[in-house]
Amino acid sequence: MNENFLFALALTTLAGLSTGIGGIISCFAKRENYKFLTISLGFSAGVMIYVSFVEILQESIELSAKNLDGKFGEILPILAFFAGIAIIAIIDKAIPQEDNPHEFSSMGDHASKKLMRTGIFTALAIAIHNFPEGLATFISAYSNPQVAIAIAFAIALHNIPEGIAVASPIYQATGSKKKAIFYSFSSGLAEPIGGIIGFLLLMPFLNDVVLAVVFAVVAGIMVYISIDELLPAAETFGEHHLGIGGFVAGMAVMALSLLIL
């Protein structure tokens, strides 16, 4: 086991488990602080949408254009992006309607159950998109450690509000900090798992074109989560402008972090 493998594994694990930092942060807010919940959900959506369109999808387009000739190089990232949306949409639809956390009608016991489901579903969705993210981070770290540090830092940064998005509704619903932090950490474990599987199984077949597809699929999944799950929940559990403010703040923080890098 060489140094590059250990470095890639450590970097991917740290990036993934930063979701737990978000979980810890969410537990400092008061349980009935729906304003914090609204802002944090909007913030998460802002981070995920901004990084998807400005960073991840653009990286996919550049990789595809460099390695594929003609229109196909331009079309492939677009197809992969919508494939990512389709993948998470199918998972969404596979959940029975009564268990699918799209609508929240009240803040009573029924809403608490819905909040719990929202947190768990968000954790599942984030884990799914963290899997290919982990693959991309791991392979980048193994082949080019300097570039991978910047990628891992950006992923870790946006994983923190993702951890908040997972933990906040679970903490609101149950009052259990342990459950909230557990689910937020668990959602990030998919990154090192994806990295290891990618190294062991996909390394012989991995090239820039495959990475372009992976990045675009990740972007599609993240955009769908934001629009279908995070923003509607933020709208329902707080004032409209708080959710929008959190959304804009999330984009601004992500933009600043990318400029610094």
Q: Over the stretch 4-35, which tens digit does the pLDDT of each residue have?
A: 888 889 999 998 888 898 888 878 766 556 68
pLDDT at 36 > cutoff 90: no
R_g of the chain, CA atoms, integer Å: 18
Give the pLDDT confidence score for residue 61 in this predicted structure: 94
pLDDT at 181 > cutoff 80: yes
Cβ-Cβ contacts under 8 Å for 234 (sequence gap 6 or more): 37, 38, 39, 41, 42, 45, 242, 243, 246, 247
pLDDT at 222 > cutoff 90: no
Q: Which range in 52-56, 135-139, 243-247 is most confidently predicted, on average pLDDT? A: 243-247
Give the pLDDT confidence score for residue 99 in this predicted structure: 43
Q: Where are the domains of the chain?
A: 3-260
Can you say which residues are annotated as belonging to the binding site for Fe(2+)?
A: 130, 133, 159, 162, 191
Can you say which residues are annotated as belonging to the binding site for Zn(2+)?
A: 133, 158, 162
pLDDT at 258 > cutoff 80: no
Which two structure tokens, joined as six digits, stand for 186?
Answer: 């668990």
Q: Which of 92, 85, 96, 90 shows the shortest CA–CA distance to 52?
A: 85
Between these two residues, 91 and 102, which has the higher pLDDT value?
91
Cα angle for residues 225, 229, 233 (degrees, 5° grid): 150
Quick: pLDDT tens for 144-164.
Answer: 676 667 667 767 766 777 787
> Which pTM value belongs to this model?
0.68
